[in-house]
Amino acid sequence: MHRLQELKGHIESREARLGVMGLGYVGLPLALEFARAGFRVTGFELDGKKVETLEAGESYIGDVPAEAVREVTRSGVLSATVDMGELAACDVIHVCVPTPLTKTRDPDVSHIAAALESIRKRLRSGQLVILGSTTYPGTTHELFVPMLESTGLRVGVDFSVAFAPERIDPANKQFALREVPKVVGGETPLCTELAAAMYETIFDRVVQVSSSQSAEMVKLLENTFRAINIGLANEVALMCDRLDLDVWEVIDAAATKPYGFMKFLPGPGLGGHCIPVDPTYLAWKMRSLNFPARFIELATEINGHMPQHVADRVADILNDDRIAVNGARILVLGAAYKSDVADVRESPALEVIRLLAGKGGEIRYHDPHVHELDVEGRTYKSVDLSDDVLQSSDLVVILTDHSAVDTARVVERAPRIFDTRNATRGIPGSGDKVRRL
């Protein structure tokens, strides 16, 4: 117990050495904030190219400017390595590795397990291990604790374990990382106390919950709430399509109510690492307890159908002008899952391209943030958004509303547009040329 209580003093004095496993969209911003707060931080990465990029003072993530990287790497407070042996020197280890789904849409905790094995081999008394990767309730308690206690050390006595879910929203300029409250739940009260002390050094507010399982559930609730409400917005869009109504007008009018309504927007499907994945983690866990997560399953079905709906609408729009999808020149605007990011994980654009290419469409795409795309073994390269590309396309499909794209020019030059994001709203000259979701 003495070593753990001593750790709190080292955290408060900034003497504790920190490790961050996984330097992606979550881990790198976290490592930078701790380095700026005065800690010595080591980032652990399996991708040697990322390590080289950081050591050169450059960034590979849009939300992290190269100047911020250079500031902490040149001063020596942040370093990156592929050598997991250095974990032994870290007093606090943050695990920020991917948690995707398998092909059968079951949780894939292989990255967590690999990180955990690296930690287990080097675990020593006095260390604090914090999992930040989104996962199903019980992962920390059922996987982390037994594996680490297999060393003979005891959680809450010799070492500490906590769960603190990430709340990163890529490209969000409204909230800085430190402004979003940090939720923390430990295996014991002391574990929670130490993890909270750690995060209080960089977050304006830390919210402590009673257990790691509660903290895991908090994260899943947040993104399940979003997935279900987006599913509702998508179903309303399908209803409005049948009723020949403008779903965007309906939603905007409903959003004028000052209470009891929260605005969610429809789109071509869900994308990113969190919203399409996290509810599935929760549903998987509940199935193991013989409890059907009906809201999640319904929302997943509706959201998963949207790429097919988009492909069907494309066929209808072309058919109205006696153009077959087979052989049609279709330009997809946006491959990333959301505006102003380069992340294509779970992006609905991938499925839309697959479906349209499967119907014989000649697919081109433009995305200022995604320069190359692989869809079912075929490589696509982003084309320049030239007048010739726009004018020679039979149809332009807007799947991502990047701010760098001159949508007014697209409306002016393209012969037909299908807008799934309402990006063309209010642009003069759209008229009958633009069809919306």
Identify whether residues 273 and 381 lie together within a single domain. yes
Identify whether residues 40 and 180 lie together within a single domain. yes
- Asked if the model's pLDDT at residue 228 lies above 70, the reply is yes
Identify whether residues 143 and 272 lie together within a single domain. no
93: domain CATH number is: 3.40.50.720
- Asked if the model's pLDDT at residue 1 lies above 80, the reply is no
Q: Which pLDDT band holds residue 2 (cuts at 50, 70, 90)?
A: low
Q: Which pLDDT band holds residue 276 (cuts at 50, 70, 90)?
A: confident
Identify whether residues 40 and 170 lie together within a single domain. yes
- Would residue 261 count as lying in a domain? no
Its pTM stands at: 0.91
pLDDT digits (tens, 9 = 90+) for 130-144: 999 999 999 999 999
Q: Could you tell me the residue range of the domain that residue 191 belongs to?
A: 2-210
pLDDT at residue 23, rounded to an integer: 95
Name the catalytic one among 96, 191, 240, 274: 274
Identify whether residues 186 and 317 lie together within a single domain. no
Mean pLDDT for the stretch of residues 90-113: 91
- Provide the percentage of residues in the chain whose pLDDT is more than 90: 89
- Would residue 21 count as lying in a domain? yes
- Would residue 237 count as lying in a domain? no
Mean pLDDT for the stretch of residues 343-349: 93
Identify whether residues 45 and 165 lie together within a single domain. yes
- Asked if the model's pLDDT at residue 337 lies above 90, the reply is yes
Identify whether residues 190 and 62 lie together within a single domain. yes
- Would residue 294 count as lying in a domain? no
Identify whether residues 66 and 204 lie together within a single domain. yes
- Asked if the model's pLDDT at residue 168 lies above 90, the reply is no
- Of 173, 188, 210, the last residue of a domain is 210
Identify whether residues 62 and 159 lie together within a single domain. yes
- Would residue 424 count as lying in a domain? yes
Mean pLDDT for the stretch of residues 245-264: 96
pLDDT at residue 171, rounded to an integer: 80
Catalytic (active site) residue 240: no
pLDDT at residue 330, rounded to an integer: 98
- Would residue 74 count as lying in a domain? yes
- Of 210, 225, 250, the last residue of a domain is 210
- Would residue 358 count as lying in a domain? yes
Mean pLDDT for the stretch of residues 172-197: 94
- Would residue 415 count as lying in a domain? yes
Return d(Cα 336, Cα 171) in angstroms, integer.
12
Identify whether residues 39 and 163 lie together within a single domain. yes
- Of 187, 210, 233, the last residue of a domain is 210
pLDDT digits (tens, 9 = 90+) for 214-226: 999 999 999 999 9
Identify whether residues 61 and 201 lie together within a single domain. yes
pLDDT digits (tens, 9 = 90+) for 46-89: 999 999 999 999 999 888 999 999 999 999 999 999 999 999 99
Identify whether residues 193 and 274 lie together within a single domain. no
More confident residue, 381 or 277: 381
- How many domains is the chain partitioned into structurally? 2
- Asked if the model's pLDDT at residue 409 lies above 70, the reply is yes
